Amino acid sequence: MVIISTNQFSNGITLRVDGKLFDMVSFQFVKPGKGGAFVRTRLKNLQTGAVKDVTYDSKDKVEQVIVDKRDMEYLYREGTSYVFMDPETYDQSPVDEDRLTDLLPFLKENTVCKFKMCDADIISIALPDHMVFEVTETTPWVKGSTAQGGNKPATLDTGTVIQVPVYLNQGEYVKVDTRTGTYSERVSAPD
């Protein structure tokens, strides 16, 4: 356990507040004309994603948590678990399906995900911000249909349906922003 004072705050550190883990999004030291100095912070709950504002006295001390960040490659599914491998040590770790609910629409084999771990417990798992997928099913493009612009639904190779421009056809590749689940651009076939 590492105890730090408010003058050691920096963006991105992880704190344990009331038994829960929070990332520090931002902080501001305030020295009013009267009274003691204080620190305004914005903290993001690592489990729920909720952001809250917390004010600390300048003399307060808080617990900083050392978070291990590592890349883990998704290998395969085994029952209700998904098996990831550390590419440096080749250690494999099964992760329950309920921990990956938000990632499943875009998770495919050999994807390298970012893991945040604390005391060997997984805090969070994140996909790369952008990934390339093949369009496996969509309505064919009809000449003249781009005059109105717009989008149409397309099924990706993971089975997820997103909106793409009307000129895209089955068999083409698209880059998708996995944070929002939206189409970014058409790309050539991956190597």
The CA distance from 96 to 113, in Å, is: 15
Identify the pLDDT of residue 63: 92
- CATH superfamily for 68-126 is Nucleic acid-binding proteins (2.40.50.140)
Residues 6+ apart with CB under 8 A from 142: none
The CA distance from 118 to 88, in Å, is: 19
Identify the pLDDT of residue 29: 92
Q: What is the CATH number of domain 2-65?
A: 2.30.30.30
> Identity (one letter) of the amino acid at 60?
D
Write the pLDDT tens digit of every residue in 160-184.
999 999 888 899 999 999 989 999 9
Which pTM was predicted?
Answer: 0.71
Does domain 130-187 correspond to CATH entry 2.40.50.140? Answer: yes
Identify the pLDDT of residue 119: 77
**Where do the domains of the chain lie?**
2-65, 68-126, 130-187
| Strand, helix or coil for residue 191 | coil
Write the pLDDT tens digit of every residue in 81-130.
999 999 999 999 899 988 888 899 999 999 999 998 887 788 888 999 99
Write the pLDDT tens digit of every residue in 36-73.
899 999 999 887 878 999 999 989 999 998 888 899 99
| Strand, helix or coil for residue 80 | coil
Q: Which two tokens stand for residue 17?
A: 């507040």
